[in-house]
Structure 1
Amino acid sequence: MTSLAHQLKRLALPQSDPNLLTRREVASLLFDPKDAATMDRSTFYALGCTGLEELLGIEPAFLEFQDTLFSAASLTLERSVQSREVNDKLDAGVSLFLTRLCPYFLLKPAHKCIEWLLHRYVPVGGCTQVTWSL
């Protein structure tokens, strides 16, 4: 591979990778990996928002995440083109959400929210790259 080809490969955006459009399995908490691969982002978003609404009925403190992690803008956010500062802020928001979610972790609404976070905020390479902590 030439030096130029190598540089272009490193600059390629992950969301433009054709392999992402034909994944056979996708990590999921609620669904079989093969079934999850057939679902689109808006399906997971609707599921996550439903879970958040259900959690708000139990604990109003989750309201602060409605305009960030569960906002309509999060549907089109591409982490790979964001600055490190933006990604660090997203990671901090996810960590805070997960920390607050701990007492409710066994509830179905919590699982719905986690499913959205998994599909929206986990890097394309998988869970091993995530540095969220509780």
Structure 2
Amino acid sequence: MSSLAQQLQRLAVPQTANLAIHDKERKSLLFDPKEAANFDKETFFSIGINGLEELSSINPVFREFEKSLFNENAQNFQRAVQTKEVNEKLDETITEFLLHLSPYFLLKPAQKALEWLIFR
């Protein structure tokens, strides 16, 4: 198998196939799955940003995630085409965020921030 064929095969993983498909249902913490399917990426991002801003007013440690998980560039980030190292760093960032988030999980802002991560 040629190098190009191998690269294309890696890009054909389910994650990238799902990016182009509008599901009839979508996983969600805040919405019914059928209702969530009607929202676009920008809506979920706005919900997440709103939650992060509210969390940051409660605990400033959440501001550090504005530059990573809740950055404008995060909307177009495609994990499936990233290197192993980039994905490992992302896993570490998500883990750190979730550790900080856990004491606030029952608060609506925490759930709104988590909604963005569930979408992505």
TM-score, normalising length: structure 2: 0.86
Distance 1:74 1:22 in 2: 19
Matches within 5 A, 1:25-104: 25-104=25-104
Unaligned runs of 5+ in 1: 121-134
* Post-superposition CA distance 1:75-108 (Å, at most 9, x none): 1100010001111111110110000011111100
Matches within 5 A, 1:15-34: 17=17, 20-34=20-34
* Higher-RCO chain (CA-CA 8 Å, sequence separation at least 6): 2
Name the % identity. Answer: 50
Distance 1:79 1:40 in 2: 18
TM-score, normalising length: structure 1: 0.78
Count of matched residue positions in the alignment of Structure 1 and Structure 2: 117
1:23, distance to aligned residue in structure 2 (A): 1.1
RMSD of aligned alpha carbons: 2.3
Unaligned runs of 5+ in 2: none
1:22, distance to aligned residue in structure 2 (A): 3.2
SS in structure 2 at match of 1:27: coil
